[in-house]
């Protein structure tokens, strides 16, 4: 084997090993990462409490003071 083919085999082996490590770490991250919540975020106009409610709710009652609030839009 020539020096060129040995270097090529070494670089290809290292790149393949790096690809396997990156793929495994990405699969593990996706498996254990929390799923984003579909809940809507509300902020009470009266007391300032920030809370969430179901995604199909247009207005929500504050659990602290009872005020009806609109969802926060970003």
Q: Are residues 44 and 59 in the same domain?
A: yes
The DSSP-derived string for 25-57 is HHHHHHHHSPPPP-PEEEE-TTT--EEEE-TT-
Instruction: Please give the average per-residue pLDDT across 3-24, as a whole number.
Output: 97
Q: What is the pLDDT of residue 73?
A: 84
- Give the integer Cα–Cα distance in Å for 67 and 64: 8
Q: Domain range holding 56?
A: 40-69
Q: Are residues 44 and 27 in the same domain?
A: no
Q: Are residues 1 and 29 in the same domain?
A: yes
Q: What is the pLDDT of residue 36?
A: 84
Residue 74 lies in a domain: no
Residue 28 lies in a domain: yes
Q: What is the pLDDT of residue 9?
A: 96
- Please write the tens of the pLDDT for every residue from 24-74: 999 999 888 888 888 999 999 999 999 999 999 899 999 889 999 999 888
Q: Which residue has the tokens 């839009």?
A: 73
Q: Are residues 27 and 1 in the same domain?
A: yes
Residue 20 lies in a domain: yes
* Total domains in the fold of the chain: 2
């Amino acid at each position: 084997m020539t020096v060129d083919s040995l270097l090529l085999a070494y670089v290809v082996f290292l790149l393949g090993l790096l690809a396997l490590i990156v793929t495994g770490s990405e699969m593990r991250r996706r498996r254990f990462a929390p799923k984003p919540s579909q809940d809507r975020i509300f902020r009470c106009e009266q007391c300032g409490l920030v809370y969430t409610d179901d995604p199909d709710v247009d207005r929500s009652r504050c659990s602290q003071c009872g005020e009806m609030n609109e969802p926060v839009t970003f």
